[in-house]
Chain A
């Protein structure tokens, strides 16, 4: 395929199954994650489709109440633990952090492969729980329902999440050490791409937060299995303790999901505006501010649980504070656009979609952090809409931006730009049609997690379900044209976007196994764009 004088690319050096499944190469591990999370995205998507199908009409028709509970639990658990948390770090973090800092691999390649198999093994436990009849607790596993009363496969699912959690921890550990110790000569801290800064902040949350949910789910499993009584009110235990421990991880987990996405957006916005990123150090620092503050807001999930009013006030206040670093990022991205030479290529369309949708998601988050308003819309579709604006409008839009941005480097081929833009448009339109009506539904009082609703809510629910179908098409389309590009796509060359990141500076795409022909010496800041034209397609 390649000329004989050159080294083979990481894709071409070995073909047998073992060299893929037991690879220590961070790029191949990234692709293993890509395959696995795509599969689990599909499973989670099926869950979403079941929910939207059931909610087309006010009566129960497709699913019984019990099956509906299992469908939304399937959707939530799969999307959060088995898709979104490993998504951007697992695929793009693994693939590109070593390349961005000029290293040959992550610090611990063997551990990296272990992480992948822990994730995959944990996810298989999740699949087993699903095949044996599913789980009906919701992704939040609130006690005492989950620990005492639920007749579903809670233990299996808890074990799956426990194992996958250690994958997340070890990935974070690997990235922290890699970023500290593996940087190429000249790659100083303030020359790191913002994608790397964002992953550093994410890794801190993974290392500090994940073990807490691991031990919490362990206690739930022990309670079901061995009659331990730590959350059991019959013994004088406190079910609220579970909620505290759960949200101590699960609120920061939102930032595990969205911070890497913000890193992607910083890369894409600068590249497609052909302009140095505005406020580099502010964007970098705001990732850490989000990570830090994110650990002190968990109580805003518990305003209505009887937690102390004063605690509520403090949690509410700190929740407002998180809006500041988030807004710092949005303002800096917008300022980067100003007087830039903007190319509306597919990754850029997704990135712009991210900024708009994340802003709505973030601002409604501030509304929900308000003590009074939260009483009104707690556990309604308003909350559902809010976190889907952050998770889908944020993380998944960023994930789509990332895959379209780096696909040419990963596989050396260009995809159809027309289909790419079409998919970005479909996702944007479909997403808003799905979730905007849910803000209204929630405000009008439709509670979440019910399979029936009063007939007057039907119109908005039909909008939502129709939007979900468009959204599905928007997600399925890239699956085909990206795969198709491997066969029919034009050769990308080393740097089709004329990007400045180190990951684009090696001799060709896809890169060789060692990443660089010789260790790069970094001499300039990141994002040295000066309004150059983008190379022609």
Chain B
């Protein structure tokens, strides 16, 4: 793959290539739903078993930071759409600009998340021997926080991967690889970004807001 071709050798035309790329990403996102699905299953089971513990633990979350991150991610989805539109119209500079803005929002999200993790660490809310003794149901509370870290952690990993992908796309764009006829990579990266965004839309209320404030 030394030289760059818009059309890979296995395809007959760009339409076929575009449709294949889109279908491929959608199938991948189905896989992702099931991947997170295992965790949502565990979340649901224990929420039915320990509703009070969930409510109590959820109150320990800072809903303002969660809401801030929700706003950040939703805005990043908007800027991602603007990047895709720019690519379709062949406005490469705008494409790169919107990609950087999107990456920036992703970065803000991760910084806020890291701050929250740090806070949980300070408050001894990490499952394990050092888990806080101030909660009544120490066992199930650890399960809640295990789920919290597993779900938001997996989501954060997806964010980091997404930032890596968008950086690559921005680099490709700067090397003039995209045109109004060829921009699938931008489009399917956008699909991925929106998916990761959507996962958070579920995580935020399920983890932060169920404490019946």
Q: Given A230-B42, A235-B140, is A211 in contact with B150 using a C-beta cutoff of 8 Å?
A: no
- CB of A215 within 8 Å of the partner chain: yes
Question: How far does the Cβ of A513 sit from chain B's closest Cβ, in whole Å?
Answer: 10
Which single member of B8, B30, B127, B142 contacts A208 (CB below 8 Å)? B30
Cβ-closest chain B residue relative to A175: B27
Q: Is the CB of B45 within 8 A of A238?
A: yes
Residues of B in contact (CB 8 Å), total: 42
- CB of A229 within 8 Å of the partner chain: yes
A108, A207, A236: most-surrounded residue (chain B CB, <10 A): A236
In the bound assembly, the distance between CA atoms of A230 and B23 in angstroms comes to 34
- CB of A216 within 8 Å of the partner chain: yes
B92-129 near A? 1/0 per residue, CB < 8 Å: 00000000000000000000000000000000000111
Question: How far does the Cβ of A228 sit from chain B's closest Cβ, in whole Å?
Answer: 4
Which single member of B1, B16, B30, B45 contacts A207 (CB below 8 Å)? B30
Contacts of B149 in A (CB 8 A): 228
Which single member of B24, B36, B127 contacts A229 (CB below 8 Å)? B127
In the bound assembly, the distance between CA atoms of A111 and B27 in angstroms comes to 14
Cβ-closest chain A residue relative to B8: A109
- CB of A227 within 8 Å of the partner chain: yes
CB interface residues, B 26-81, toward A, < 8 Å: 27-28, 30-32, 34-39, 41-42, 45-46, 49-50
- CB of A449 within 8 Å of the partner chain: no
Cβ-closest chain A residue relative to B38: A215
Q: Given A211-B37, A230-B147, is A236 in contact with B31 using a C-beta cutoff of 8 Å?
A: no
Question: How far does the Cβ of B169 sit from chain A's closest Cβ, in whole Å?
Answer: 16
Cβ-closest chain A residue relative to B144: A229
Cβ-closest chain B residue relative to A242: B42
Q: Is the CB of B10 within 8 A of A207?
A: no
A499-525 near B? 1/0 per residue, CB < 8 Å: 000000000000000000001000000
Which single member of A104, A214, A238 contacts B9 (CB below 8 Å)? A104
Q: Is the CB of A177 within 8 A of B146?
A: no
Q: Is the CB of A177 within 8 A of B27?
A: yes
In the bound assembly, the distance between CA atoms of A236 and B145 in angstroms comes to 13
Q: Is the CB of B16 within 8 A of A181?
A: yes
- CB of A5 within 8 Å of the partner chain: no
Q: Is the CB of A222 within 8 A of B139?
A: no
Contacts of A228 in B (CB 8 A): 127, 146, 149-150
Q: Is the CB of A236 within 8 A of B10?
A: no
Contacts of B138 in A (CB 8 A): 235
Beyond A228-B127, A238-B49, 19 additional pairs, beta carbon < 8 A: A105-B10, A107-B10, A108-B24, A110-B1, A173-B31, A176-B27, A182-B20, A212-B34, A212-B37, A215-B38, A219-B39, A219-B42, A219-B150, A226-B128, A228-B146, A230-B46, A230-B146, A232-B143, A236-B137
Residues in chain B within 8 A of chain A (CB atoms): 1, 8-12, 16, 19-20, 23-24, 27-28, 30-32, 34-39, 41-42, 45-46, 49-50, 127-129, 137-140, 142-143, 146-147, 149-150, 154
Residues in chain A within 8 A of chain B (CB atoms): 103-111, 169, 173-174, 176-177, 180-182, 207-212, 214-216, 218-219, 222, 226-230, 232, 234-238, 241, 244-245, 519
20 A-B contacts (beta carbon < 8 Å)? A103-B10, A107-B24, A173-B31, A176-B23, A208-B30, A209-B34, A210-B31, A211-B34, A212-B35, A218-B150, A222-B146, A227-B128, A228-B146, A229-B142, A230-B146, A230-B147, A235-B140, A236-B140, A237-B46, A241-B41
